[in-house]
Chains A and B, each alone.
Chain A
Amino acid sequence: MSVPPAAFLAAGTILFVIGLVGALLKRNALSIFLSIELMMNAVNLLFLTYGRMRGDPSSHVIVFFVIAIAAAEAAVGLAVFVALFRSRQTIEVDRVNLLKW
């Protein structure tokens, strides 16, 4: 017996919305970052589901690429947070708002 694709699609969509809400509402940069990771994995899940529905294995390849790039991006992002914390003693995004007119 197999799980129907609709369940995967529903799970992926729910995960994406949770990630989106988290990214928009959280103040801590790390939390935002985690939310973004969550959105990315939700997208991966949806992508694989659609690939499976189409019977197309190449979706796995692309998802691996996304995971690899996400890992690199996580490293860069965390390094930015460390540097930011060293200079401002906070990673609250509401207090890092110098990039404006």
Chain B
Amino acid sequence: MTSLWWIPVLPLLGFVVNGAVALASSSRRARRGERGGPLPYGERLFHGLVGVGTVGASGVLAFAALVPWTQQSLAGGALPVVETVFRWMFAGDFSVDVAFRLDALSALMLSFVTFVGTLIHLYSVGYMQEEEGYGRYFAFLNLFMFAMLTLVLGANLPVLFIGWEGVGLCSYLLIGYYYDKDFAVAAGKKAFVVNRVGDVGFVLGIFGVLALFGTTDFSFLEAARHQIVSDTAPLSVYAVCLLLFLGACGKSAQVPLYVWLPDAMAGPTPVSALIHAATMVTAGVYLVARTSTVFVLAPDAMTLVAWVGAGTAIFAATIGLAQNDIKKVLAYSTVSQLGYMFLACGVGAFAAGMFHVFTHAFFKACLFLGSGSVIHAMHHEQDMRKMGGLAPRVPQTFRTMLVATLAISGIVPLAGFFSKDQILGSVAAAGQWTLYAVGVLTAAMTAFYMFRLVRMTFAGEFRGTHEQEHHVHESPATMTVPLWILAAGSAVAGFIWVPFGVSSLLPRFLAPALAEVPEHEMSHGAELGLMALSLGAAIAGIALAVRWYTGRPAPEHAAHKPAEEIVVSPAAAAFCERTGALGTMIKNKWNVDEGIEAVVLGPFRSIGRFLWKGFDALFIDGIANASAFLVELTGDLLRFFTTGNVRNYALGFTLGVLFLVAYALFR
């Protein structure tokens, strides 16, 4: 139990090896004039082994570290293990070590990050085999694991920040994986830029923590727990919480910084599963939960967190209702579920929020990998209007996705039910009935759009082209095995909070790492009633989706129509028609991208154009050009003295000497 640092370093080694081999290989191919096409089997095997192997080994190390610690902690309490690797920087009283910390929170994160990460690496072996940049892909994915594990294990905010930026970088690199496609490059850039907005907040928040507590080491969490806060700090606790939350909003795609996540679906599907569903996007929730002892000092900030979370949850869910791209539905679903997590944190139920992070990692990874399997089978078709009737053709994908869909919809006894119900129960217990209503409504919508996805994809008759129909096939075992494991996880992950109540496993385990929030007692009957209500909402959503999206009969000539003209559900179309403007707004994703373009980007571009054309081209360049002109003018005037006539020069000498003599005599 002395080698925590190996856990992030192993994937880093994988990155170095995979990256070096991929570079050497691609330059060799370029020299030979070969272009495109999948790699030879030997190289694929090597990259796969290194990629999966390093992450798997780091997973084994992680579990070897966290299982004994967890047992000890549950048996009677264990102190956080902090392992200092080296001193990074110091100035006066201030110092930062590169140090890793194993406590309840990082143990929970570590468990599913390495577990899901390894499975997704394994899945990628099959999914990416046709791709040209196979080695590059595994190198980046390994680098991502390094950054994510650094983020999770970091024992102070600067180390956490390194991981934080590292995952952002890998996210950018992997969204733009298909770098010859404009939309993928633009999506990567968008993700990076939007995250910068949040990161400004995070960096300032780190300085704020330093000002408030005099240290960025996580020992400040205990100081905050005992309310030992500097009263001479230039920032209030409230401001620091807001700054940290701004960072969390950027990374975890909350309103209004969520816009990058749907676009991030331009990356390969396993990347969406690993980075943009299971792990990286939950970093914001992790940050808020990690600094929970600070957040509870500022109740107003908590309220804001709750409202932003609830707002995001329902807002993204409404957009998800009308999306036709299978990955976009899942992306908006992810945004919505992240909103739930923040909602939980906002009402003080940090453990419930982390619980949802945990269960969400399983079912959302399963859903994304399932959608990847469908896309693989459909030969890179992502539009659900061109699918339909896939259930008998890809039975394993169908069954695993169905399990995960039931889980995210919140059906007993799958994982999503427990975590979502725990969140809604905490919101209700806190007496926030408006937020509770939003949560239940979102749950119903979640169930609806998820079953809409399943029905449009798998039910009824096939709507794609005959060529696609001929091509449809079940994915190889490297892809279905992770699907089954994740489906099993989606089914059982919820049981770590059983039996219900504060004395159950997970909250008892997490308690030392989180802020103590006074428990609101609820009667058992009320609890069951609320449970029934959210379950009822989910079932209503499912029933509506099943009723509307029969997928049968397929519209006439669907195979030859473009996707835009295929109406899968006349009933849903008619309903959308009746809602009028609201329906149009939802279809247009509330015009948020256009709004940001008009309100933020447009003015920024105008300012940029002014600075370029007005300030730089006219003023700055003007100064340079004017001084050049002045020099030229002086030269033009002075050169008339250079006549080339020796006698003129002689006269010049003479006058000069006379002047000097006169000066010497009469000064």
Contacts and interface: CB of A to CB of B under 8 A. Distances in A.
A94 B642 contact: no
Contact of B644 (A20, A23, A25, A99): A99
B647 A101 contact: no
A94 B644 CA distance: 9
Nearest to B643: A100
A52 B643 CA distance: 43
A20 B650 CA distance: 10
A100 B646 CA distance: 10
Contact of B643 (A20, A23, A97): A97
B606 interface: no
A53 to B, nearest CB: 20
Interface string B630-652: 00000000010011111100110
A32 B646 CA distance: 10
A26 to B, nearest CB: 8
Contacts of B645: 93-94, 97, 100
A61 interface: no
A96 B644 CA distance: 8
A75 interface: no
B654 A94 contact: no
Interface size class for chain A?
Answer: 10 to 19
A21 to B, nearest CB: 10
A72 interface: no
A32 to B, nearest CB: 8
Contact of A101 (B642, B646, B650, B654): B642
B639 A23 contact: no
Contacts of A24: 647, 650-651, 654
A7 interface: no
Contacts of B654: 20, 24
A2 B375 CA distance: 124
A93 B647 contact: yes
Interface in B608-667: 639, 642-647, 650-651, 654
Contacts of B646: 32, 93, 96-97
A96 to B, nearest CB: 7
B642 A100 contact: yes
Interface in A52-101: 93-94, 96-101
Nearest to A96: B646
Interface string B188-216: 00000000000000000000000000000
Contacts of A25: 647
A24 B643 CA distance: 15
Contacts of B650: 23-24, 32
Contacts of B647: 24-25, 27, 93-94
Interface string A1-42: 000000000000000000010011101000010000000000
Contacts of A94: 645, 647
A27 B647 CA distance: 8
Nearest to A99: B644
A35 to B, nearest CB: 10
A97 B642 CA distance: 10
A98 B643 CA distance: 9
Contacts of B639: 101
Contacts of A23: 650
B644 A97 contact: yes
Contacts of A93: 645-647
A23 B649 CA distance: 11
A94 B647 CA distance: 8
Contacts of B643: 97, 100
A6 to B, nearest CB: 19
Contacts of A98: 644
Interface of A: 20, 23-25, 27, 32, 93-94, 96-101
6 contacts: A20-B654, A24-B647, A93-B647, A94-B647, A97-B645, A100-B645
Given A93-B646, A93-B647, A94-B647, 9 more contacts: A20-B654, A24-B647, A24-B650, A32-B646, A93-B645, A94-B645, A96-B646, A97-B646, A100-B645
Across the A-B interface, give the 9 residue pairs with the lowest CB-CB distance, nearest first.
Answer: A100-B644, A97-B644, A101-B639, A93-B646, A97-B645, A100-B642, A99-B644, A101-B642, A100-B643
